Every structure is written in C-alpha cells, then in structure tokens.
Amino acid sequence: MSSPTHFTTNPVCWLFCTVIDNFGDIGVSWRLAQELHTRLGWEIYLFVDDVTALQTILPDAPTQLPNKYRHIHLRDWREREYADFQAASMPNIIIEMFACDLPEDILHLIRSLKPIWLNWEYLSAEDWAIRTHAMPSLQADGSQKYFWQMGFVQQSGGLLREQNYVNQYADWIKRQPEKPVSGSPISIFAFGYSSEIWAKWCEIFSAQSHPIILRTAGTQIISSLKNAALLPENALIQDTEYTLGSLKIIRQDFVPQEQFDELLWASDINIIRGEDSFIRAQYAAVPFLWHIYPQAEMAHLDKLDAFWQTFWQHVPNNSFQAALTALSNELNGASVLSTAQRAEYWAILLADLSEWQRITQIWQQYLWAQSDAVTRLAAWLCDGLVNP
C-alpha cells in the first residue's frame, strides 16, 4: 500500500465547512486549514458557506469569494447544492468538517479521483468516538471514507494546537505583573448561548462581597439578561459597562482569532461555548465551564458528562468537584438549583479559586503531553493506512 509521503507534489486538500454554531465550526476549520498549510505544506481550499462568520474572527478576510487569504484558497459552497471549484487544483485529500453533506458533483469527483476522504468529527470524549477514530466506512457507491474523532486521550484524533502555542503562552505569562494578594476583582469571561441561567447567576455575582467583572461576548447573554429584566433595554448599547451591586458587566467586542487566547489567559474564570473556544479555554489553564451546544432530546448531556469523567480521571479529586458538577449541569439544562444551592456552590468555587486553577493547570499539562491533531493526522497518513 502506497503512502502519501510519495506524492510528487505537495498534496492538495479541500476542506468543506458549513457554519452551524456561528464561530465554533469556522474557528476549528480555519485553524485546521492554517496548520495543514503551515506545518505540512499542503495547498488548502477552504469552502465556506458563511463568509460573514469568517470575517467576525478574521476582520481582514475578503468579502468576495473566490479569493486567496493568508495562503488559503477561499471558495463558496452550499451544503448538498453546489461548490465553486472552478479552476481549482484537484484534491488528493477531501475533509468534511463535522459531517457536512457534500454536493453530488463533489461526490462524483470523489468516485472519479479517489482522494483520501475524511469526516472530521465533532469533539467528544464518549467511548464510541474513541472506538471509531480513524475507522473506514465503505460508502454505498464503493468509496471509502474515514472518521477523524477529535478527543482528549491518546487513542483519539487529538486536539488542534499550533506548534508555537506553548512558547507564546509561556512568553505571555512572563510578561504579566504579579496580581495583588487581595482586593482585585475576579474577572469572568462569558461567551454562551441564550439562557435564563445568566440572570440567576448574575444575581449571585452581584451579591458577592468581592467585586466581579463579567465580560460578555456576543449578544445572547446580554439579551438573556434583558429578557429577565435584570438589565434595562437600553443597557450596553451605547455604554460598554453596567453595574449591578458587586458585579460590573462589560460588553466584550469580538477580537481576531489570533488575539482570543490572550483574552482567555487574562481571565480568572472562562465560561465558553463552541468547540474552538472550549479547546482554547482548556489550554489557557484558567478555571472554565462549558456551555455546550444544546441538542435535541438533551443528547448533549452525554457528551458533557463524558468530558467531565475524563477530566476527573486525570486531575486530583477535589472538595469542590460536586459544586463544579452541579453548576455545569445547571448551565446546560440538566438540573435546576435552588437559589440557596446556587449561591452555596458559587461561594465554594470562588473561595477556592486558586485550587480550581491548580487542577486546570494539571489538565493543561496532560493535554500538552500528548501530540496534537495535525501531528497525529500526518503520522496516520505516513503509516500507509490509506491509499492516496
């Protein structure tokens, strides 16, 4: 069986991304495109169906497609309908991001050219995802497709991480002044979905004896607070700050993707959604909660539970594990706490913030000790497991 290392030229890869969760899908797709080009030297065509989402995380991205941007060919497409591959280099590798459905003319091209065909799956720690990683799937037309399962353990497809990330993180840490022993506000960054929980949690934050700064990205948290009448309708439109007791709410504008990590590093707690943000929050070694994308019949709770089970297998058991689990469940619709319970659990976490940070640092080091997803992909291809 031949190996992709025998390509006579640098491989051409077509990536197909359909934007569902606004920024998680395109965020992962763009990072993957960049790493495949920068690290492996592949020629990348990224097919996107929402260039506005791309521009939100990359403000200087072109408005018109087709275009070439930062060495990546950007092309327009619509799931199942069409893809603009006019005058494009023919692919050696095709990657469907997150089980998107390719148009018939692309499927015809796959049958004709027989490129390596991957489905880059959603991030999961569930057992089935680990078992099916890199497994082949024979399609009805005889084509072979493989499933790449991102994950947190060595048996999975790994997580995206740039080669220079660890050094960038270390350099940033060195530049930071020491925090005052006491008195400085607790900084929380929150990027989540619409939910009644935000008003309930903000009421807890506003009643703390210690000042809290809540930076909210996007519109959904602010809209949730207004729907609950915790904020007036005109709040955080012209002004960027609003104060409720001990809580100062700040409207956080979106930053370019390459600046997002520093936003996470600078926080004391990160509450994030989506796949790209979730991975970066874990690398930041800052206490975090995951507002997972809600699915029908609460299917997302299995994915959430599998992650936390994996997490607690690799960090020390802690006295605040029950509090963290309860708040994570409430955030994601698995349970509803009483006001007293909610206040008690947040009090436990905020009082032991340094210990919460310590265990997230242990988790960060566990992830960093593993190879990243692109390294694993390159090794898998070079092992000759598939036929280019």
Q: What is the C-alpha to C-alpha distance for residues 345 and 326, in angstroms, rounded to an integer?
A: 8
Torsion 35-36-37-41 (CA) sign: positive
Query: Please, are residues 250 and 258 in contact by the beta-carbon 8 Å criterion?
Result: no
Query: Please, are residues 148 and 125 in contact by the beta-carbon 8 Å criterion?
Result: no
Closest to 34 (Cα-Cα) out of 56, 52, 58, 50: 58
Show the 3-state SS of 345-360. HHHHHHHCHHHHHHHH
Q: What is the C-alpha to C-alpha distance for residues 319 and 17, in angstroms, rounded to an integer?
A: 42
SS3 45: strand
Using alpha carbons, list the distances in angstroms from residue 2 to 42, 108, 353, 385.
18, 23, 53, 9
Query: Please, are residues 48 and 76 in contact by the beta-carbon 8 Å criterion?
Result: yes
Which residue bears the tokens 């930062």? 70
Q: What is the C-alpha to C-alpha distance for residues 345 and 348, in angstroms, rounded to an integer?
A: 5
Catalytic residues: 25, 275
User: Which amino acid does the sequence have at 17?
Assistant: C
Closest to 68 (Cα-Cα) out of 44, 35, 97, 38: 44
H-assigned helices in 81-164: 104-113, 127-131
Q: What is the C-alpha to C-alpha distance for residues 46 and 60, in angstroms, rounded to an integer?
A: 16
Q: What is the C-alpha to C-alpha distance for residues 103 and 128, in angstroms, rounded to an integer?
A: 28
Q: Which two tokens stand for residue 120?
A: 């880059």
φ/ψ bin of 122: left (φ > 0), alpha (ψ from -120 to 50), beta (otherwise): beta
